[in-house]
Chain A
């Protein structure tokens, strides 16, 4: 798996790609969580783009839960965007839609988190 980050105004967009299973989840955790340290309140918000994730097991879901807990502890906001149909099914089975803020697209997520970021993304 790989992680690329992008700052759009006050939103940190994290693009996760590849496979997040029990063999790669630790790597995902150590790549992802440090980026969330600065995500507090209005200063910086977080969006995880999962459009590039072709496979995610419970080990990957655990990393997303840890990311959410970390943001909540810091009064930060986290949104998940662009889940594949398979991942949507996993979320449904685990009833995670009541736990995470899940949106269809990165653009939708930015619009929810920050008008400034949404405007900037539109110009990009």
Chain B
């Protein structure tokens, strides 16, 4: 497992995504799949940077590794306010185009591009795990 601790700020995104892309490439994902994973992680990481610590500064730990089934995961761990991204209501895409929400669309990319997404609270930590099945494992 590779671990990187970063300030929970948007300026940390570049470093976070560089790590994720390097790890995903090393696991043999095709370029397009790497970009999909990158997009999903960006959305999750941005959410933490923008909302996890509303009144203070904090950190986020980025962990990349293989789970028991040898699938590739990215875990984002923060000590911010409890927040389960999976419990968010999804934007309503059926309304008239003019009424469509401008924000809140990132969650759709996380759900579309990752094979599994799990969240749990571990003591004072939010643990969000995004998993992508590795190509050779199917």
Report yes or no: A58 in contact with B43, Cβ–Cβ below 8 A. yes
Query: Which residues 23-40 of B sit at the A interface, judged by CB distance below 8 A?
Result: 32, 35-36, 38-39
Report yes or no: B98 in contact with A72, Cβ–Cβ below 8 A. yes
Report yes or no: A98 in contact with B97, Cβ–Cβ below 8 A. yes
Query: Which residues 1-28 of B sit at the A interface, judged by CB distance below 8 A?
Result: 10-11, 13-14
Report yes or no: A86 in contact with B13, Cβ–Cβ below 8 A. no
Report yes or no: A22 in contact with B13, Cβ–Cβ below 8 A. yes
A57 interface hit (Cβ, 8 Å): yes
Chain A residues positioned under 8 Å from B46 (CB to CB):
22, 57, 59
B100 interface hit (Cβ, 8 Å): yes
Report yes or no: A90 in contact with B103, Cβ–Cβ below 8 A. no
Helix, strand, loop or mixed for chain B's interface? helix
- For the complex, count residues of B whose C-beta is within 8 A of A: 24
Report yes or no: A93 in contact with B100, Cβ–Cβ below 8 A. no
B108 interface hit (Cβ, 8 Å): yes
Closest residue of chain B to A22 (Cβ to Cβ) is: B46
B106 interface hit (Cβ, 8 Å): yes
A116 interface hit (Cβ, 8 Å): no
11 contacts between A and B (CB under 8 A): A21-B13, A21-B42, A23-B10, A55-B35, A57-B43, A58-B109, A59-B106, A62-B105, A65-B102, A89-B36, A94-B105
**Chain B interface residues toward A at CB < 8 A:** 10-11, 13-14, 32, 35-36, 38-39, 42-43, 46, 49, 93, 97-98, 100, 102-103, 105-106, 108-109, 112
